[in-house]
A and B are shown apart, each in its own frame.
Chain A
Amino acid sequence: MDFSVDERGYYGKFGGAYIPEMLYPNVEELRQKYLDIIYEPSFQEELDELLRDYVGRPTPLYYAKRLSEKFNTKIYLKREDLAHTGAHKINNTVGQILLAKRLGKKRIIAETGAGQHGVATATVCALAGLECIVYMGQIDTERQKPNVARMKLLGAKVIPVTSGSQTLKDATNEAIRDWISNPEDTHYIIGSVVGPHPYPDMVARFQAVISAEVRQQLLYKEGTEFPNYVVACVGGGSNAAGAFYHYLNEPAVNLVAVEAAGHGVNSGLSAATSVLGSLGIIHGSKTLLMQTEDGQIVEPHSISAGLDYPGIGPMHAHLYDSGRAKFYAITDEEAMQGVVLCSRMEGIIPAIESAHAIAALHYMQLKPDDVVVLNLSGRGDKDLQTIINYLDEHDVQ
């Protein structure tokens, strides 16, 4: 089975471009041009240089000695937290800003949940000198205050979204509405592997730098390009798409996707889409999403703003449906224990999103010789207040 996207933007039965006519010309322009532009030698050269000198790539592949001892296996952390702006999100925004400039766009819009994608977008807009508008759910602007301040400092206009659940889903709706109203001069930098084709494929290609580096780094460290497991958290799924990308068609490598169970998968407060979701359409693609019997989208819940999304990207829906990837659901509490574990055993404070992946190690049947690559997608500084509040409330020493 091939896990790449087909010409019309489908991964198996998931994907496509379910958009109103108002967006058709924009999305069609992108679809026709994106591959030619991003594989042009001058584009690649400019992108590589920025990734190296601005983003700080390659990010290290770090052998986590104490975590490895604890889980009695070999654990490598792919240190996306060390990328400029503190998360993997910058890989995609650097690529898309170069694309937007080549498309002649003057104005950039984005949506953000945790704020990492918003910060990454504001950063590349400053770099490119383009106007930047970031839509963010009102609730997220409160729980991710440092990132709101960063975006403003970088010159972006942050628009709090008060419709619906006031989180990532609604921020995405508002960004789409902005794009409908500004079809000619505006490029929408989607932050995850969601949205109408070609976004899921385009974002995955920009994030694929993660697995490309892992293969080289692992060859040097372990004498093989192929780990036994690649583990990553999934909200929309961009860091997982990047970590999985060059292993999709390598069946010996087990792909592990970790979703946010919130208060528990069956608690009514969860974002575990693979378990709770069914086939439907969200934000322009056919994928798995959390919905009622009547097809109304259900509000998700996760303590991590970045995983608080009722769908997953169509590539991940296909990986789940076909059994190619194994999915785990980690509760808020387990994730917070993951934050503490990683902080105290490795001296690395992970983003709460990434801590879901760490917590999943408890559930995996790992052998001493197994090589596990865990994508540490972002750093936890932005979550410090949430973490402190949680630890105080739950009396964690």
Chain B
Amino acid sequence: MMYNKIAQLFKNQPGRSLNVYFTAGFPELESTTTILQTLQEAGADLVEIGMPYSDPLADGPTIQQSNTVALNNGMSIKKLFEQLNNVRDTVTLPIILMGYLNPVLQFGFENFCREAARVGVDGLIIPDMPLVEYEEEYQAIFEKYNLSAIFLITPQTSEDRIRKIDDLTNAFIYMVSTASTTGNTVAGTDNQLAYFERIKQMNLKNPKLIGFGISDKKSFDLACRYAEGAIIGSAFIKVIQQPTGLQENIRDFIYLIKSGEEIFS
């Protein structure tokens, strides 16, 4: 495996990694680069750029709404690659693209991977790409362009399947915190903590990031007790949809999440 920024990140910083999701083209068509640069300055560790889709099944209302706005703004995969053309001049954070399979297929799967690699993307999350299709059709293309495939697991995912996913990826495992779409709250129930603990005890070779329901310092800290970090999406979308002070709002939000004493110490 060639040098990969995601693997490097977890090697250098084994815990408390903050992965922030935002939707490309939201709130404004041309916000993408500003948001990326501000996230880097503010101390985010990875970024996940959502490629907007008309029918985002796994997402809740906040992210769906941001997708609709972005599409109405004129965002497309082609446009996103144009925006990311020179991104590596200023942004060193690992960059992951997240999106549903259909728009990627229409772009052309290999074309998509080639373009992603060209602009400096490190990994892809395609939640509705079946594992079996990945192994048979797409894995070779991911590897050809040195892109990491990132897969989700949920409280219902079997141990065998988690082991298989751990074998198939070289970035991190996206641990969906609970049975829900995006935008709910991590409650920290006994069941949930038992699930976090169970996965922690599996000693997987890849780091894990907990997502879905991480919205503030408290839930971020909770996630970091069981995993190498967490992913924040809907809560961040709410921050950037404020009408004014985009950069300042981002800095304040990241600061609040990452700094200070851990509540659970």
Contact = CB atoms under 8 A, between A and B. Distances in A.
A164 interface: yes
A16 B103 contact: no
Interface string A158-188: 0000011000010001001100111110000
B61 A163 contact: yes
A284 interface: yes
Contacts of A282: 55, 102
A177 B57 contact: yes
A243 to B, nearest CB: 29
Contacts of B157: 21, 24-25
A296 B54 contact: yes
A164 to B, nearest CB: 7
Interface string A1-22: 0000000100000001111111
B150 to A, nearest CB: 11
A370 B128 CA distance: 46
B230 to A, nearest CB: 18
Contact of A295 (B106, B133, B158): B106
Contacts of B71: 296
B172 interface: no
Contact of B55 (A25, A164, A294): A164
A184 B105 CA distance: 31
A280 interface: yes
A281 B101 contact: yes
A20 B181 CA distance: 10
Interface string B113-155: 0000000000000011110110000000000000000011110
A24 B102 CA distance: 18
A324 B262 CA distance: 65
A8 B57 CA distance: 22
A181 B55 contact: no
Interface in A280-298: 280-284, 291, 293-297
Given A16-B130, A282-B55, A296-B54, A21 B153 contact: yes
B55 A19 contact: no
A181 B61 CA distance: 14
A58 B262 CA distance: 68
B53 interface: yes
Interface string A341-360: 00000000000000000000
Residue of A16, A21, A24 contacting most chain B CB atoms (<10 Å): A21
B156 interface: yes
Interface in B97-117: 100-107
A17 B106 CA distance: 18
Residue of B77, B78, B127, B154 contacting most chain A CB atoms (<10 Å): B154
Given A19-B130, A21-B127, A180-B58, A280 B152 contact: no
A291 B103 CA distance: 9
Contacts of B101: 18, 281
A169 B61 CA distance: 16
Contacts of B156: 22, 24-25, 183-184
Residue of B57, B104, B106, B129 contacting most chain A CB atoms (<10 Å): B57
Given A16-B130, A180-B180, A284-B128, A294 B106 contact: yes
Contacts, number: 98
Contact of A294 (B57, B103, B152, B179): B103
Interface string B60-84: 1100100000010000111000000
Nearest to A165: B54
A316 B54 CA distance: 24
Interface residues of B, number: 38
Nearest to A289: B102
B20 interface: no
B154 A21 contact: yes
B46 interface: no
A349 B151 CA distance: 51
Nearest to B76: A294
A295 B103 contact: yes
A20 B151 CA distance: 10
B103 A180 contact: no
Interface in A258-304: 279-284, 291, 293-297
A293 to B, nearest CB: 7
Contacts of A24: 156-157, 161
Contacts of B96: none
A16 to B, nearest CB: 7
Contact of A22 (B60, B133, B179): B179
Given A281-B101, A293-B106, A294-B103, A20 B57 contact: yes
Contacts of B161: 24
B214 interface: no
A14 to B, nearest CB: 13
B89 to A, nearest CB: 27
A16 B136 CA distance: 13
Interface of A: 8, 16-22, 24-25, 163-164, 169, 173, 176-177, 180-184, 279-284, 291, 293-297
5 contacts: A20-B57, A163-B61, A180-B180, A183-B154, A280-B105
Given A291-B106, A294-B77, A297-B55, 19 more contacts: A16-B130, A18-B128, A18-B129, A21-B153, A22-B181, A24-B161, A173-B55, A173-B57, A182-B179, A279-B105, A281-B102, A294-B76, A294-B78, A294-B103, A295-B53, A295-B104, A296-B71, A297-B54, A297-B102
8 closest Cβ pairs, A-B complex: A295-B106, A295-B103, A21-B152, A20-B127, A296-B54, A25-B156, A20-B58, A281-B102
